[in-house]
């Protein structure tokens, strides 16, 4: 802080009444004293600046490193999409392949066949990984959906029209908005590379990510017995076990005989004391505990001595993880980006009429003042929650996540119900729908196109506000630590909070899709206000379905029947509500996301059939 004398001098520019300050003599204050004051002032300023820079050197990398991982994941997704569809574009020059999609029936049949094969292969790989869990079969529908999506992406990706329309695909509708958000993350992440500690280590960890399984392998080695000889004179046999100690997370070694593990076959060349594994005992090594590994760094140097008469069977159970475990999020984001671009391309090329209606609906809704207002309120709200003191004694981050995702969901539902009233109900009442249906567009395509367009506009809303929320969440642990004078936090904390928030956003978007489907179905018969009221009632009862059914247990049969009837008629929106898990700080398992997706698909099909019944005989004239 500047001294009072220095501020007074600078404020007068060194002049008082036309006299220079140097010309004024102050009793008892010499030039040396004034010089000392200036030195103290400069030292204080320098110390304050150094302290600020030192603090910034700690918290800025902790804030930007999670964003850097997101940027690398999205950039990897861009590269993968460019390579894959670049190769498919080359295949489109083969006449048989490039013109396969000219006939829609053949293209759809081929896509279903290839997608079914891919989906079946994914199920064969990933469903057994869940083990004997009763919920393992919940993965079948999501994996089959991914397989079908890849099948359509393969067939329509090598279509000659897709090759010539890629720039149109990337520049129309909601795609530029989604790509802009991804591009902003990539720019922020790459710009922060100089501030990230050893950024290339994250990239080097990508090949070590376990795409199949949890990285656990089991290797068995048979070591000859000592026979009639002395156990101390038994030779050390090469183990011939392949492992990478750098990626090893857990190593378990068990043997049915007593053995010694050494780093050489010659006792004179030992660099450390051999490890002893007694018969039927298990030696466990965990890299997280910073223990000395019982095996050498070079796998070719591992030798085993059997100290008993009969041959020994030594079993190595190795669990490998990337050197930086958070690198798995890079692969997850890359796969998500690739699947998103594949879905957009396949939707546009396979269902052009529905896509045209969806594109028109989304553009019209995103240009409305209400949409821009909800977008601005959502971004302001999540930033406000990031700095608002919840006074929870260290749990502010949980309330931020809960408040943020709930705000985004409410904004999305308001937009979905409003859009259903303005684009479906008003067009039917205003005879605009009759003009659209006079073209070669069926009523089924009209409903699907309107619903898809509404949800695309809501998706953009979720992505933009969600991106702001993720940036705020990455900074929130640092902000709380600075405000409460706690020790500096690490980037792993912010990254974990971000990665546990993304599944919650996915669940709340599913819930918004369910309410959006109901609002579109009701909009074929009800005006906007009645639609709003009905959807609000369904939302409230839907979130109380599970407690309502649980409360009827043990009551008389009539009460139980009424409770179960409500649970059947009204959607169980409580499936998508994970507020209790957020408050407890528990992550959302992928198997739960799969179950919620299954429910959404079944519910959406039922609502679509209801919408067709309501709209099929609606008089539009």
Predicted confidence band of residue 430 (pLDDT cuts 50, 70, 90): low
Nearest to 255 by CA among 280, 276, 226: 280
**Helix or strand or coil: residue 431?**
coil
DSSP for 315-332, written as a single string? EEEEEE--SSGGGHHHHH
What are residue 473's DSSP bridge partners? none
Predicted confidence band of residue 415 (pLDDT cuts 50, 70, 90): very high
| Average confidence score pLDDT of the chain | 83
198-237: burial string, b at 16+ Cβ within 10 Å, e else: ebeebeebbebbeeeeebeeeeebebebbeeeeeeebebb
Q: Which of 123-137, 171-185, 413-427 has the lowest mean pLDDT?
A: 123-137
Output the CA angle 554-560-566, nearest 5 degrees: 140
Round to whole Å and give the CA distance between 524 and 269.
84
Residue 285 main-chain phi, psi, to 5 deg: -120, 130
Cα 399 from chain centroid (whole Å): 19
Token reading at 163: 């090759």
Per-residue model confidence (pLDDT) at position 421: 85
C-alpha distances in angstroms, 344 versus 114, 164, 352, 450? 19, 16, 11, 16
Cα 278 from chain centroid (whole Å): 45
Q: Quick one: DSSP state of residue 29?
A: B
Per-residue model confidence (pLDDT) at position 188: 92
Predicted confidence band of residue 309 (pLDDT cuts 50, 70, 90): confident
Nearest to 239 by CA among 221, 226, 265: 221
More confidently predicted of 618 and 251 = 251
Question: Could you report the per-residue pLDDT of 487-546, keeping only the tens digit for each?
Answer: 678 888 889 999 999 999 999 999 999 999 999 999 888 888 998 999 999 998 888 777
Predicted confidence band of residue 46 (pLDDT cuts 50, 70, 90): very low
Is-contact 287 253, C-beta < 8 A? no
Q: How far apart are the first and last CA of the chain?
A: 78
Mean pLDDT (whole number) for 197-218 = 85
Round to whole Å and give the CA distance between 37 and 295.
64
Per-residue model confidence (pLDDT) at position 128: 82
Does the pLDDT value for residue 138 go beyond 50?
A: yes
Q: How many CA atoms lie within 13 A of 621 on its CB side?
A: 2
Q: Which helix (H) or strand (E) holds 539?
A: helix 528-543
Predicted confidence band of residue 248 (pLDDT cuts 50, 70, 90): confident
Close Cβ partners of 589 (under 8 Å, ≥ 6 residues apart)? none
Is-contact 514 535, C-beta < 8 A? no
Nearest to 286 by CA among 260, 263, 252: 252
């Amino acid at each position: 802080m500047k001294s009072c004398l220095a501020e007074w001098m600078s404020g007068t520019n060194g002049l008082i009444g036309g006299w220079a300050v140097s010309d004024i003599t102050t009793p008892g204050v010499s030039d040396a004293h004034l010089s000392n004051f200036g030195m103290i002032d400069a030292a204080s300023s320098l110390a304050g600046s150094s302290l600020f820079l030192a603090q910034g050197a700690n918290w800025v990398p902790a804030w930007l490193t999670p964003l850097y991982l997101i940027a690398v994941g999205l950039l990897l997704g861009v590269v993968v999409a460019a390579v894959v569809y670049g190769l498919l574009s080359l295949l489109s020059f083969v006449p048989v392949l490039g013109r396969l999609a000219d006939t829609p029936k053949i293209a759809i049949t081929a896509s279903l066949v290839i997608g079914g094969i891919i989906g079946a292969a994914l199920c064969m790989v990933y469903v057994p990984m869940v083990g004997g869990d009763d919920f393992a079969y919940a993965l079948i529908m999501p994996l089959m959906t991914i397989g079908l999506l890849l099948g359509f992406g393969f067939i329509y990706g090598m279509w000659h029209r897709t090759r010539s329309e890629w720039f149109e695909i990337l520049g129309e509708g909601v795609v530029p908005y989604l790509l802009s958000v991804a591009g902003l993350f990539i720019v922020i992440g790459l710009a922060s590379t100089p501030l990230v500690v050893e950024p290339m280590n994250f990239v080097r960890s990508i090949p070590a990510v376990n795409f199949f399984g949890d990285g656990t392998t089991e290797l068995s080695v048979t070591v000859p017995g000592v026979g009639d000889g002395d156990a101390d004179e038994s030779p050390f046999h090469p183990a011939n076990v392949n492992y990478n100690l750098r990626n090893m997370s857990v190593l378990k070694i068990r043997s049915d005989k007593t053995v010694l593990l050494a780093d050489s076959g010659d006792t004179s060349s030992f660099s450390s004391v051999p490890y002893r594994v007694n018969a039927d005992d298990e030696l466990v090594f965990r890299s997280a505990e910073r223990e000395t590994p019982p095996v050498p760094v070079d796998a070719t140097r591992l030798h085993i001595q059997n100290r008993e008469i009969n041959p020994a069977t030594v079993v190595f159970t190795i669990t490998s993880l990337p050197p930086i475990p958070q690198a798995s999020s890079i692969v997850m984001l890359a796969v998500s980006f690739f699947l998103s671009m594949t879905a957009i391309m396949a939707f546009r090329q396979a269902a052009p009429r529905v896509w045209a209606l969806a594109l028109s609906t989304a553009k019209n809704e995103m240009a409305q003042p209400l949409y821009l207002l909800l977008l601005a309120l959502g971004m302001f709200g999540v930033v406000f929650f990031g700095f608002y003191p919840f006074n929870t004694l260290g749990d502010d981050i949980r309330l931020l996540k809960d408040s943020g995702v709930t705000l985004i969901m409410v904004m999305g539902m308001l937009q979905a119900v409003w859009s259903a009233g303005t684009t479906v109900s008003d067009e039917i009442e205003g005879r605009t729908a009759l003009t659209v249906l006079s073209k070669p567009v069926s009523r089924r395509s009209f409903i699907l196109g309107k619903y898809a367009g509404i949800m695309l506009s809501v998706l953009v809303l979720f992505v933009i506000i969600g991106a702001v929320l993720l940036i705020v969440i990455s900074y929130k642990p640092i902000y709380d630590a600075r405000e409460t004078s706690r020790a500096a936090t690490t980037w792993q904390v912010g990254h974990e909070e971000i990665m546990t928030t993304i599944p919650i956003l996915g669940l709340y978007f599913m819930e918004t899709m369910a309410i959006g489907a109901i609002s579109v179905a009701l909009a074929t018969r009800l005006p906007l206000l009645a639609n709003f009221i009905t959807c609000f009632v369904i939302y409230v009862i839907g979130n109380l379905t599970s407690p309502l059914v649980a409360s009827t247990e043990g009551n008389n049969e009539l009460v139980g029947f009424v409770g179960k009837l409500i649970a059947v008629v009204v959607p169980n929106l409580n499936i998508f509500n994970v507020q209790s898990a957020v408050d407890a700080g528990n992550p959302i398992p992928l198997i739960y996301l799969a179950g919620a997706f299954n429910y959404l698909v079944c519910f959406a099909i039922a609502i679509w059939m209801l919408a067709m019944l309501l709209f099929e005989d609606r008089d539009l004239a």
